[in-house]
Amino acid sequence: MGGMFGRPGGPGSGPGRSLLLQLSSPQALPPDPMATHDIPPGQLMGKTLPLLVPSGDKSRPERYEKGAEEQMEKPRMRMLIYWGCGEAVGKGQPRVIDTAKMGPAEFGKALASHSISPQYPPAPRSGWVYADWPNKKSSPEIPRDSSLVGEQFVHGNYMPDIRFTIPPKHDFMAPVEFTSVKGGLSESIQFQWKPVPTAIGYFASAMAHNDKAGETIIWSSSEVPDTGFSLMDYVPSGDVRRLIREKVIMSPEVKSCRVPKGIFRDTEGSMMQFIAYGEDMHAGYPPKPRDLIWSVKVRLKSTGMLMLGMSGEQEEQPRKKSRRSGDTEEERSSGPGQKDEDQGESKSPVNSIRGIFGF
């Protein structure tokens, strides 16, 4: 969501909502480009959201000096990979990854996870106009009771008119709410959550660092080996259903999970991330085109975080998230621009890994 987390009352006051609108068009950029997204009254954010063409460096692709990759120091870390919901550690675990003993290819193979379909959202590119919201002209907080349901109209002077309707099942998702968390770091940690009504699947992952041994411990709820690095963001709905069949993602009927006993016992605490996937929405004109004039994709997710091993009551930090995009391409699937605002910053290997893999 580009870091735009609407949190009424500030951090810790409850779940927040965020929205990112992205538009791209192959038409030529006029001298005075204008585009806006008219929204339904229930969104409680006025009548329209202006879409602006970014200026400055944001509109240019990032460039790196030749040889920059060669100058980067190879990350040195040892990781223990666990997976599966259960009381005890499963057979064949943990998988040990030691960068000091592995080449780049072997390291990449060891961290490989189940594939998801590539997505090509709107983004600055040569010969196309790109615009987005929020921006310097408009970036209000999203009200707690805001609703996306209703008629949407995107129009401007470098694009065709785009009209579509968002139905209730593609509205902002309910927040992730943990209803019970039991167990210390030396025990099996059981956590339960309130079902998210429009979720089509769930996934959880946790990580911690053992300072004494110099090891990072990673766990995921997948029943088969998978670190989940590619799953803590929007995942196409077809892939969610496939990964449920492959026992990677939990089905929407699941309401609880257990972290195996003792995998975090030699750490000071673990951060768990949790995601509920929403159903993608697609619209386009004409409905059965030979030459598509415009297309829209809506993506939704609801996420939460939980610190395991904290003294006293466990505290969750849920978020609600939604993205909409218009015109010929899907929206960008880059990670949040807000860097670890809820998690804090540190120099630990945990943050290094999170930086490398973008979660």
Q: How many helices (H) and strands (E) does the chain have?
A: 4, 17
Q: Where are the domains of the chain?
A: 18-61+75-357
Residue 188 has pLDDT above 70, yes or no: yes
Label residue 248 exposed, middle or buried (CB < 10 Å: 0-12, 13-18, 19+). Answer: buried
Residue 110 has pLDDT above 60, yes or no: yes
What residues have CB less than 8 Å from 266, skipping those under 6 apart? 210, 212, 213
Minimum mean pLDDT range among 80-94, 106-120, 121-135, 252-266: 106-120
Side chain identity at 150, as an amino acid letter?
A: G
Q: Which residues pair with 85 in a beta bridge?
A: none
Residue 17 has a pLDDT of 93
Mean pLDDT for 38-65 is 77
Side chain identity at 21, as an amino acid letter?
A: L
Residue 74 has a pLDDT of 55
Residue 346 has pLDDT above 70, yes or no: no
Structure tokens at 328: 């010929």
DSSP tag of 52: B
Mean pLDDT for 51-59 is 71
Sheet holding 256-259, edge to edge: 178-182, 189-193, 256-259
Look up the pTM and report it.
0.80
For CA atoms 328, 333, 337, 341, the dihedral sign is positive
Mean pLDDT for 202-210 is 95
DSSP tag of 107: H
Taking CB atoms within 8 Å and a gap of at least 24, the contacts of 14-17 are 14/144, 14/175, 14/318, 15/175, 15/176, 15/318, 15/319, 15/320, 16/141, 16/142, 16/319, 16/320, 17/142, 17/143, 17/144, 17/146, 17/172, 17/319, 17/320, 17/321, 17/322
The band of 75, judged by pLDDT with boundaries at 50, 70 and 90, is low
Residue 333 has pLDDT above 70, yes or no: no
Q: pLDDT tens, 274-284? A: 999 999 999 99
**Burial 174-208, CB ≥16 within 10 A → b, else e:** bbbebeebebebebbbebebeebebbbbbbbbbbb
Strand pairing of 270-277 and 294-308?
antiparallel
Residue 273 has pLDDT above 70, yes or no: yes
Cis peptide before 94 (omega within 30 of 0): yes
